[in-house]
Amino acid sequence: MKRIILGVTGSIAAYKAADLASGLTKRGHSVTVVMTEDAQQFITPMTLQVLSKNPVVAGLYDEKESWRPGHIELADGADLLLVAPATANLVAKFANGLADDVLGAIHLATPAPVLLAPAMNGKMWKHPATQENVRRLSERGVRMIGPEEGMLACGYEGIGRLWPVEGIMDAAEEVLAEEAERRMV
């Protein structure tokens, strides 16, 4: 069983995090969902808590029972940090090392591999700033899956859709397997 932190950000695609949390749990992984404040506008923590069978973390100060900061404990114990959907805002925060929320703090503190599944308007995805942020993250070893083309929530047709849930789960397991193999060498 691998420990996966599933980051969920404020995108209409956030509802697909329910299928991800459920599917990864069914595949035998321990999933802890970490939600941004904006994500909670699209899906409730309770839904993700029930499907992941773990408490959901929604703020830096959620942990009250230990002297040790909860986000550091999560970061230290993670085998994978998966963010799906990853908005343009999240990609920019990660690329610039911002830790103004729990997900950003975990990103900076974890030695685990990071996999992002972007979902955003196609113009936002293609914007030079977003592409520069993607390049910077790639140089640091952060992996991306997607986005794919199709009908977007804004009504446009084009790139920006969240990669299919099954594909994201397969990519997560690939990254976990590669990391396990790397550690054995």
d(CA 78, CA 51): 19
**Cβ atoms 30, 80 nearer than 8 A:** no
d(CA 97, CA 105): 9
**Cβ atoms 87, 10 nearer than 8 A:** yes
Those residues whose C-beta lies under 8 Å from the C-beta of residue 76, and which sit 6 or more positions away, are 109, 110, 111
Structural domains of the chain sorted by starting position, each given as residue range(s) with its CATH number in brackets: 3-184 (3.40.50.1950)
Residues of the chain with pLDDT > 90: what percent? 82
Q: Give residue for tokens 């900076």.
A: 108
- For the segment 101-158, what is each residue's pLDDT rounded down to a tens digit? 999 999 999 999 999 999 999 999 999 999 999 999 999 999 999 999 888 787 888 8
d(CA 83, CA 119): 10
Q: What is the pTM of this model?
A: 0.94
pLDDT surpassing 90 at residue 53: yes
What pLDDT shows up at residue 69?
63
d(CA 24, CA 27): 5
Measuring CA to CA, how many Å separate 84 from each of 42, 67, 144, 167? 13, 30, 10, 12
- Catalytic machinery residues: 154
pLDDT surpassing 70 at residue 66: no
